[in-house]
Structure 1
Amino acid sequence: MSFLSFFEKKPHPFTKFCLQASQWSLWIFFFLFPIFFLPWTTDVLEINKQTLFVFFILFSLLFWLGAQIFTKTIYFRYHPVFLLFPLFFLVVLISAIINQTGFLSWVGESLQEYTSVLTVFIGVILFYLILHLAREKYFLKKSFFALFASGIITSFFGICSLLQWQILPFDFAQSITFNTVGTINSLGIFLSFLLVLACGYWATEKKIPRTFLVLSILFSFIVLMLIDFWILWLSVLLGLLGLFLLIFFQAEKLAKNTRRFLLPITVFVLSLFFLVLPSPFQRHFPAEVVPSFGASKEIMQQTWKEYSFLFGSGPGTYVYNYAKFRSNEMNTTPFWDVRFDRSGFHFITLATTLGVLGVGIFVFIFLSFFSLCLKKLRSKETTETSWLAMIFPVWISIVFSSFFYTSNMTLQIIFFLFAGIIGSICVDRTIHHHLKKKRYVHSTAIVLFILVSFGIFVVLFLTGFRYVSEISFAKAVRLERSGASIEEINQKLRKAVFLNQYHDIYYRNLGQGILEEVKEELSLQEKLSEQRGQYLQSLVAAGLNASMRATDLAPENVLNWSVRARIYQQATDIIPEAQSHALSAFEKAWQLEPQNPLYPTEIGKIYFSSAIKKQQDPLKQSTHEEIENDFYQAQMYFEKALALKKDFGQAHYQLVLLFQQQGRIDDAIGKMESLANYHLKDTEIWFQLGLLYLYRNNTEDLDRAQLVFEQTLMLAPTHINALWFLGYVQEQKGNLDSAIKIIERVLELQPENQNVQKKLEQLKQGKITQNQAILLEQEQNLSSSL
């Protein structure tokens, strides 16, 4: 393979150093990015891979530009197709600008780093670097060896996780689904690419590292057998089919050693076998759940209507679109409260977030580079045929996976990398300009190089700051999980906010942390002094400021509005008009996620709480009509929640409480019976239903109460309150022997309880108490468990 160098025959040592530094930056990166993870962040993969991506690619760019400036030579490979990548970046940039989606689109957060403006920008740089550096045969060899070595390690970690061999000391690495790529299926997709590449290398190259390639193929295939996902097998089959067709039509160039085809053919046959029949080695792990094609298509169409048909809703914003436009049918599934951040199909995710232009350019890139490969293969040149025979099958697999699976940082990098390799192999057209012919041009180039270098270091500096802030946020999360004080947690959150003032998640969590501080203060059984009242007001103000900053940074994020509403809810006794602000915030949250029954339930709870306060107001400042209107509004919103999700327990239970408050005990019992039918194994629901029967105390209510208390004990035999009240029922029915046996069981569970001892003595004396029993243990808040 020829290399059109921009160097002189004897390049200056500094020039040689710059080129080698640029190449080594890429080789090290190719080895690291599939296996790279760090335990210091909340997400151990994506943000770390993105940070690695930014640092290594920008350093490689800096050295590559430095080599050209020092030699006073501009060297640029050109083809009209290569403009598609800057155009794709331009669409991503415009989409982020017009939709004003902030940090999520520009940098990426919550596993959306792979589609951000920053990642696409660095990906385009990687494409152009590979385009110019991959003309040397040894560069490609070392690049592939780095990928194969990394793939072997990645496969090894995947095998250990799938077989539950715990070799890493981290808690997150103990899961069967842990790997260094992403989801289990994304690991399989990545390894299917390497498997096809290794088979192509084995079949077409003269000198091959046999042991190295066999290990890569073997380990990758073992992982695919353990996962056994049809998309993985099709990815391998399509790639190998492309390889075989190339070898068939280019037999005079490629089919020099037919024995080399035995291994790829074996892999092809086995892949076809496992596509048709289940793998006997398949491991059972949690299935990856993603929106279906039909649901994704509907969300895409609704997004185009609401936002821009051409530019979509902005990079990384699929989670917002899903929340706003998902079908109500999801409320009948266990995933009714899950906000999916991507479609199950990468091209639909792009179409939704980047519009027709974004996905159109993306598809055109695939087709154009496919065409470049075919054109090169039809030419009479034979120098690059073997390399193209390796790369072209992988490109087929990449195209297939982009249409039938989703993406992440690792797969996104693979896309830019192999596009650059194809461009380098297929295109020879170059711009080769000597700057020393015109002095002012060289001076201008030096100034531009200084400016670009400054920009690179600014990006690196900001990326470092962002990473340090993420570490501080992760420390806050770990402190919360370990049960640390809320003051310690908020200290770390404040540091994260200080280091990165554009990340809405940090502000939202800080608002939640301050809300917990307010709850702790209000839970103290102390008189609210003037000084303590001022402190509470300052806490509430700080929490509100944090939550408002979060909604300002990401106004489309429903979670930000929910936290803001809850802070206002907590401040109703401290800040005037807090209730109306809480209602407005929950209304906004409901607008952003109209199929979620949680928000109308929360609005109803605010009206319900307001009605109770007005009822209990000693000054009687509210009229009867105002109180009844609040009750009516509360009931209306609870019923709206049930219209969205008929088995939503919180709304059912709030209606039970509302009916009780209004004295509508029959309605309360009817609603609790409905709730019990939806939650057959919830002991607290059955127990509360029994209490309602006792409270109503109709003719057959003792029998009904007995049945539900017995049902509670079938689910939880040591439920102390259910035993206690079942004993009370038997006492009221005159079954003293049964009552004594039941209370004796209660006494075994609570031998020091004087009330139980006293009750047992009364029963043994034949005394029956008419007063209703009281709870022995405080029950958990039922609404919080639903």
Structure 2
Amino acid sequence: MNSNNQNLYIVEKISKLIPILLSFLMPVFFLSITSEFFEFNKFALLLIGTLLLSVMWVIKLISGQKIELTKSSVDLSLIVLTIVMALSTIFSLNKSVSIYGSQGRWFPGLFPMLGFLFYYYLAAPVLKETKTLKMAFYALIAGSSVSTIVAILSYFNVYIGSADFMSIPNFTLVGSTTSALILAAVAMVGALAALAYEQNIPSKMLLVTSILLNFFYVALTGSMVGWAILAVGAVCLFVMIDFRGYSTNRSTSMILVGAMLAIVLLNVVPNTKNALKNPNMAAEITLPFNDSWIVATSTIRDYPLLATGPSTFYLNYSRYRPVSVNNTPVWNVRFDKPHDELLNSMATLGIVGLAAVLYFASRVAKFAWSAKNIQDESGLVRVISVSLLATLPVFLFTYATVINTFVLFQLLIMAIAAHAVTKEAAKGAELIEINFASIAAVTTIGEAGAIKREYFHYVAAAPMLLIAAYAGFLFYKSYAAEFYIRKSVIAAQSNNGSKIYEYQSKAINLNPRRDTYHVAYAQTNLALANALASKENLTDEDKTTIQTLIAQSIRSSRVATEVLNPLNVVNWQTRALIYRSILGVADNAAEWAIASYNTAIQLDPSNPALRLDIGGIYFAQQDYLSAANYFRQATSLKADYANAHYNFAQALIKLNDPANAKRELEITKTLVAQGSPDYQKVEQDLASLSQKPTVAGAQNTKPTVEQLTGQTTNGQTLPQEPLTKPVETQNNGTQNLNLQDLPQGSQVGATQPAQQ
């Protein structure tokens, strides 16, 4: 074997190894060196694998080798979906978020989708051999089973590491119990299907072990999505798998059935069920279907065709969330994902996007279902197709993430490869060979040919190489920025303000498109200014530094709100908090804070907390009538909001309306825990109020039952935030900033607040 052939042999081996390694590593891989440990690093791993496959493809092309691609009935639907996502991104409310994904939620974005698309076309041809295909499938089962083992251990408070984030009952290698459950259920279905065709005894034992481990976790959690996957998998197994394989392994099958029945009994019998149950296991918070439906339909009412762009559900939720959410325990949670991926597609890609998603799903289902007409000795076509069909219901019960989308694409890639290599006429995919040497011969006929034959391969390889290099460069900058944000978090835990400032500055320089970085930087500058102001005997240099930090805080908040993401209510709320924090520093800070809160209220009209905050500013400015009006609005939006009722009472006291103030205090008293410090505070206020004479003409309206008890208490006191008087909310965390600290006449902005 000459050196050239040996190099090509190595390239071929590496190409085959990459999908196998990804199958195993994606379910288990994570790193704690970025701000988000799991999804971001899993996508980084996938992108590295895709870039390596691109390099291998370029090497083969330059060497004059034939390039293989797969063609299947799914291709058109996948390309249509990608094009629709690109069009939706063009008209997105925030193009940067739609391209790269939102902070902490990297999928679905256009860039990750393109990464999956390139991986789809690069990985399928290298899995053309049955041995390689089987190894990739078994690697996915093995990786998913390892993920399940860690999830089970964490459930029973057995931790694999000493880090704080590993010491929680719901720690998993994929970042959520739902994702771990999906992997477990899909792996169990795949292992059950493979067991019917497996002849190797050690492999059978490993498959049985995987089935029992994953089934135990599904039964232990009792989640609907897990049982849905198993139900669809059971139907597909019954229709598509040859059960004679189980009958030839009767002893193994009987042991498996007996063990599964034992697992069911353990999770059904009350005594064992209670013993297995972990009371500290926190349930994942998700937006209910009804609320998700309201947000999605409201969005397509205003943006019918392409909606608001990929990864923009968090913008839609703030604007369209129903007031009824305020009656639930998650009223103060800003959801960035709906109940499931269909509703997410409707809300972010519009009617056209939803149609594209359904078209893609139907083509995948039809393609996988066609495997029942194919007979092959290894059974891989049917085994992989059963697993693929079992994966589809996932997106009816939860939203798309990097890991569950990878499982879908990896199984689809393996199914296409299995179809392509089979000799059956009913196959739905085929391998296509592209010989660039022949193309070069045609395009270089004659001496005046535009492209010389010896350079044609390099010219043909250049676009792929440039795309790979540019994608790698973009992601490197994003990854490095996330790395520095994580370092700033670690610095914050050790109260190292200068390092926080330094690392956040580096993150912004690397990735200035992230509004969340600018918001964090603004908060850091304000905190540093407050820390410096706490010094005794401030020098002129200290005062100048404080002013510079405050100015930088304001500039960063304005970049986030006016340039990068003006529709994100969190950015405007943070900007308002910054202005509110310097009421004693700048003359017109209240004016700017009120303008920022008004914009936030426009973007999140059903949020009572924003009304409470803006009312506090009016209260501090002694505009008690405006303050009372906003506090009243907060109580109307959320009848069981103790702090809103308490602040409303304080404003009514200032307006010399003790009768109605007493009513609000009585309501507050019913909403806080009896005997708590807040309860005692309300009693003291009531005692003080009873000593004041009732003003003639004051209303003495009786409260309703709903106002007295709260609409969702059901006889129990709901958790409430600590009660604070309006003036107490103005200087939280910035009590050291005073007018005397800065040069006189400081202004928070050179222009008047923007009219929204």
Contact 1:236 1:268 in 2 (8 A): no
The aligned counterpart of 1:348 is 343
CA distance in structure 1 between the aligned counterparts of 2:19 and 2:599, rounded to whole angstroms: 47
Residue of 585, 589, 592 corresponding to 1:581: 592
Q: Does 1:547 align with 2:557?
A: yes
Residue of 206, 221, 225 corresponding to 2:219: 225
**Map of 1:254-293 to 2, 5 A cutoff?**
257=248, 259=250, 262=254, 280=273, 281-284=276-279, 285-293=281-289
CA drift at 1:267: 7.8
Q: Does 1:565 align with 2:576?
A: yes
CA distance in structure 2 between the aligned counterparts of 1:577 and 1:509, rounded to whole angstroms: 23
The aligned counterpart of 1:481 is 493
CA distance in structure 1 between the aligned counterparts of 2:393 and 2:87, rounded to whole angstroms: 28
CA distance in structure 2 between the aligned counterparts of 1:695 and 1:449, rounded to whole angstroms: 82
Contact 2:147 2:172 in 1 (8 A): yes
Q: Which amino acid aligns with 1:343?
A: P
SS at match of 2:91: helix
The aligned counterpart of 1:750 is none
RMSD: 3.2
State which structure, 1 or 2, has the greater radius of gyration over its C-alpha atoms. Answer: 1
Residue of 116, 121, 124 corresponding to 2:114: 121
Q: Does 1:634 align with 2:627?
A: yes
Q: Does 1:236 align with 2:227?
A: no
CA distance in structure 2 between the aligned counterparts of 1:656 and 1:519, rounded to whole angstroms: 31
**Map of 1:708-723 to 2, 5 A cutoff?**
none
Note the alpha carbon deviations across 1:396-424, whole angstroms, 9 max, x for none: 21111221233322111001111112222
Q: Which amino acid aligns with 1:364?
A: Y
Contact 1:186 1:407 in 2 (8 A): no
CA distance in structure 2 between the aligned counterparts of 1:202 and 1:477, rounded to whole angstroms: 47
Aligned-residue sequence identity (percent) comes to 22
CA distance in structure 2 between the aligned counterparts of 1:150 and 1:433, rounded to whole angstroms: 34
CA distance in structure 2 between the aligned counterparts of 1:227 and 1:185, rounded to whole angstroms: 9
The aligned counterpart of 1:421 is 414
CA distance in structure 2 between the aligned counterparts of 1:32 and 1:491, rounded to whole angstroms: 33
The aligned counterpart of 1:508 is 519
CA distance in structure 2 between the aligned counterparts of 1:610 and 1:65, rounded to whole angstroms: 67
The aligned counterpart of 2:293 is 297
Q: Does 1:462 align with 2:513?
A: no
Q: Which amino acid aligns with 2:437?
A: K
CA distance in structure 1 between the aligned counterparts of 2:263 and 2:62, rounded to whole angstroms: 50
CA drift at 1:263: 6.5
Tell which has more relative contact order, 1 or 2 (C-alpha 8 A, sep 6+): 2
SS at match of 1:114: coil
Residue of 327, 331, 335 corresponding to 2:330: 335
Contact 1:37 1:180 in 2 (8 A): yes
CA drift at 1:633: 1.7
**Distance change in 2, residues 1:500/1:536 (3 Å):** same
Note the alpha carbon deviations across 1:148-196, whole angstroms, 9 max, x for none: 3322321221121011112311111111100012321221111110111
Q: Which amino acid aligns with 2:432?
A: I
TM-score by length of 1: 0.79
The aligned counterpart of 1:757 is none
Contact 1:73 1:433 in 2 (8 A): yes
**Distance change in 2, residues 1:399/1:149 (3 Å):** closer
Q: Does 1:519 align with 2:530?
A: yes
CA distance in structure 2 between the aligned counterparts of 1:373 and 1:693, rounded to whole angstroms: 70
SS at match of 1:580: helix
The aligned counterpart of 1:404 is 397
Contact 1:547 1:560 in 2 (8 A): yes
TM-score by length of 2: 0.82
Number of equivalenced pairs:
676
CA distance in structure 2 between the aligned counterparts of 1:605 and 1:94, rounded to whole angstroms: 43
Gaps (5+ residues) in structure 2? Answer: 420-427, 445-452, 695-721, 733-756
SS at match of 2:107: helix
CA drift at 1:663: 4.4
CA drift at 1:33: 0.9
**Distance change in 2, residues 1:256/1:428 (3 Å):** farther
The aligned counterpart of 1:143 is 136
Residue of 84, 89, 108 corresponding to 2:77: 84
CA distance in structure 2 between the aligned counterparts of 1:377 and 1:164, rounded to whole angstroms: 43
Contact 2:130 2:418 in 1 (8 A): no
SS at match of 2:211: helix
**Distance change in 2, residues 1:444/1:576 (3 Å):** farther
SS at match of 1:85: helix
CA distance in structure 2 between the aligned counterparts of 1:107 and 1:10, rounded to whole angstroms: 42
The aligned counterpart of 1:729 is none
Contact 1:148 1:194 in 2 (8 A): yes
**Distance change in 2, residues 1:374/1:462 (3 Å):** closer
CA drift at 1:221: 2.0
The aligned counterpart of 1:449 is 461
Bigger shift: residues 346-355 or 196-205: 346-355
**Distance change in 2, residues 1:374/1:398 (3 Å):** closer
More helix by share: 1
Q: Does 1:685 align with 2:686?
A: no
CA drift at 1:698: 3.2
Q: Which amino acid aligns with 2:382?
A: A
Q: Does 1:194 align with 2:204?
A: no
CA drift at 1:236: 1.5
